[in-house]
Amino acid sequence: MTAVKADAPGFVGAAGLLSLAMLFASGANYALNLFLARRLPPGAFGDATLIVTLLLGLTAVAVALQLVSAHMVSTALADHDDERHATDVVAGVRRWLLSRAWIAGIAAAVAVTALAPVLSDRFRTDSALPFVLLAVGLPVHLAQSVDRGVLQGGLCFTRLACSFVAEAVVRFIGGIVLVSAGLGVDGATLALTASFVASWLVVRPWSPEAPSTSADLADRIADARLLTRSTAILLTGQIIVNNVDVIIAKRAFEPDVAGRYAAVALMGRAVFFLSWAVVNAAFPLSVRESGASSQTMRWAVVTVGAISATLVGVIHLSAETVVPLAFGGEYRPVSDLFATYALATAIYAVVNTVATIDMARGRRLTPALVLAGGLVQTAVLSMWSDGPRQLVEIQVAVMAVLLVVVVTVRALPALDVKIGARLPIAEPRPVP
């Protein structure tokens, strides 16, 4: 049986390692998107971005599985000094989550395939085939999320980082080859699906084999069901905040305008995805912390804030020159929106960091506030969507208000105790 052993202890080492891997992955993904923006007309590029947006919506389940898996594994390893017993619990957790991942993945694949013609008509895409190609990879995508969570909870950050690199390499090379071969959006989507398989093949060999039974596995499964509620709330809000504007733009604007807005959103999301590397490292470390305060929370918020501020500044200074060179002259009219969109994403990245670490430590109020913020943003954007500039400015305003609300609520301990009681899990040992 393969043991799960930490390979990058401490927040700084883990965050640095994952940040490098995800920076490489983000660079490869953005290079591919720049290639697509150059190779495809704006309308077709908008279709390709819609597929990615749909995937990000469906990955709520994937990220939920990863976080729940990471939480269960982290507490199991912290609670048991006996490595063999701890590994047995980890294997049982993995087996239980994998069975549900495959069921959910197959159900999602069938639903997306059945709805492909409707989605194509609704969002005015040229073909329904990309939706079907995306659906094929969904079961594997969910399965690899469970195994990523096992590695994350076991602090196996080197192996986790390798999965992100493998996914990015296959997606980048496959996308360029298939699109260059004339397959267009279909080729880009096929490369996306192939990247899920590549990542799964990387993480799977390091996961422990399934054991017989474990004495406290049933209790941990009960804890997982409670944690899943908070996770679902947080990730639903995350998906709404990150993606609803692109969907509204796709429906409200002409294809070329929607395609240009998709480029703005694509660049802005870089801020969030880089911050997610820090959150991935902080999450299992926060689970293992004891006491009311969280040193990991402070490090994570400072790191995310610094990364976000730097990226916003770079985009602000370089957008006028870089955007036409990177995306093409057709995107020059929206070059001034890139920094503003990045600011909205930067504010949300800080909020999401606080909410995710709160969730790791059993607090449920902050994730609920993220969902509420996403619903408010959706309602406001739906009512006022006269053009790309208005969409971006509304998001800055809503995210700023959400940050103020989160900071205010967390400054009221009585309210946090009343609504955000800890999950009934064993108190873990401090991080060594």
Amino acid at 213: T
**Neighbouring residues of 229: CB distance < 8 A, sequence distance ≥ 6:** 364
pLDDT, tens digit, for every residue of 359-371? 877 777 888 899 9
* Average pLDDT for 236-256: 83
Rounded distance, CA 244 to CA 237, Å? 10
Rounded distance, CA 182 to CA 186, Å? 9
**Neighbouring residues of 412: CB distance < 8 A, sequence distance ≥ 6:** none
Place of tokens 């790191």: 303
Q: Of 14-23, 169-178, 303-312, 358-367, which gets the smallest average pLDDT?
A: 14-23
Share of the chain above pLDDT 90, in %: 16
Rounded distance, CA 113 to CA 119, Å? 10
Rounded distance, CA 242 to CA 52, Å? 12
Contact present, 192 and 55 (Cβ < 8 Å): yes
Q: Give the chain's radius of gyration (CA, Å).
A: 21
Distances (CA, A) of 253 to 32, 35, 201, 220, 246: 24, 23, 40, 48, 10
Rounded distance, CA 216 to CA 128, Å? 47
Contact present, 281 and 14 (Cβ < 8 Å): yes
* Average pLDDT for 298-316: 88
User: pLDDT grade, residue 307 (50/70/90)?
Assistant: confident
Amino acid at 91: A
Rounded distance, CA 281 to CA 284, Å? 7
Calculate ∠ Cα 382-384-388, nearest 5°. 100
Rounded distance, CA 10 to CA 282, Å? 9
Amino acid at 292: A
Contact present, 238 and 60 (Cβ < 8 Å): yes
User: pLDDT grade, residue 332 (50/70/90)?
Assistant: confident
| 251 has pLDDT over 60 | yes
Rounded distance, CA 28 to CA 415, Å? 44
User: pLDDT grade, residue 56 (50/70/90)?
Assistant: low
Q: Tell me if residue 346 falls in helix, strand or coil.
A: helix
* Average pLDDT for 246-268: 81
Rounded distance, CA 313 to CA 236, Å? 29
pLDDT, tens digit, for every residue of 412-431? 765 554 343 444 333 333 33
pTM over 0.75: no
Contact present, 103 and 119 (Cβ < 8 Å): no
Place of tokens 């980082």: 161
- The pLDDT, as a whole number, for residue 4 is 52
Rounded distance, CA 130 to CA 136, Å? 10
In the chain, DSSP finds a helix count (H) and a strand count (E) of 13, 0
The residue among 61, 187, 188, 43 whose CA lies nearest residue 112 is: 61
Q: Is the Cα dihedral 344, 346, 348, 350 positive or negative?
A: negative
Instruction: Indicate the helix (H) or strand (E) that contains 345.
Output: helix 338-360
Q: What is the mean pLDDT of the chain?
A: 79
pLDDT, tens digit, for every residue of 179-190? 888 888 888 889
**Neighbouring residues of 4: CB distance < 8 A, sequence distance ≥ 6:** 73, 77, 87, 90, 150, 151, 153, 154, 156, 206, 208
Report which of residues 42 and 264 the model is more confident about. 264
| 348 has pLDDT over 90 | yes
* Average pLDDT for 125-141: 86
Report which of residues 145 and 76 the model is more confident about. 145
- The pLDDT, as a whole number, for residue 15 is 65
User: pLDDT grade, residue 12 (50/70/90)?
Assistant: low
pLDDT, tens digit, for every residue of 70-112? 888 887 776 655 556 666 777 777 888 888 889 988 998 999 8
Rounded distance, CA 131 to CA 120, Å? 8
Place of tokens 């976000």: 308
